[in-house]
Homo-oligomer: A and B are copies of this chain.
């Protein structure tokens, strides 16, 4: 019997001694030149995304608890891109690193069930360990995701307070004395509390951006059973100090994503003397070191 996702994530964070997650966001214009020489049809680009992602996995899988493939970039290349994503997922599973699929999927009823069934669990078509989900459609739209995730020992990360400046347009509006992100956070926490596993965290996690450290601390206090996925660290401007409020007293309860600063490290001046995979490793170790100053994992 597979352990609940957040129990497995806790084990992985303790084993790897870091909350760092590496985002797999292949962008054609930023790929190492050696990988772009094949050609630029959809199928050739998809093969390059696959080789790039697998090359990153080989470097980072021993170092971090999870990776976060961004579905958009694979989907951008049509079904050939999605076939490449399937190969990337298979490789990650062989290496034993957890897969947080960043798809921000959302719908209602049997359609939401279709997404959940497709993405969550080792027996699903996409074999993800967890999936990001967007909450505008409300509580009954989350139910099918929660049901499938619970049945299959998978996890969810629901958008609560996002890292982009425009996120505040809706999320920071106040209704009935609470902001919209507090309303969504409250729902996610209730679902998490109802399903808490051995680690104390439930089946629903939350996406809370590093770019709003005050709200991060506020939500950490309000959502004690909810694991956080924190984007916005690194290229988006969030620092280690900014993500510090995301962790619980044991240095757990949050994973911190970095994408561009790691996967495109070959373009950073400080790593100019390294090949692209060496640069990925150096940038990963640097981020792990940076985060170790604010999260002491017990």
Binding site for B on A (CB under 8 A): 25, 27, 42, 70, 72-73, 75-79, 81-83, 85-86, 104-112, 114-115, 117-119, 125-126, 134-141, 143, 159, 162-171, 173-176, 180, 183-184, 187
Contact = CB atoms under 8 A, between A and B. Distances in A.
B72 A114 contact: yes
Total copies of this chain within the assembly: 2
Contacts of A72: 105, 107, 111-112, 114-115, 118
Contacts of A108: 162-164, 166-167
A143 to B, nearest CB: 8
Given A86-B78, A118-B72, A170 B180 contact: yes
A27 B110 contact: yes
A118 B77 contact: yes
Nearest to A176: B173
16 contacts: A72-B105, A72-B118, A75-B126, A76-B125, A79-B79, A79-B85, A79-B86, A83-B83, A104-B134, A137-B164, A137-B167, A138-B168, A139-B166, A143-B166, A174-B176, A180-B180
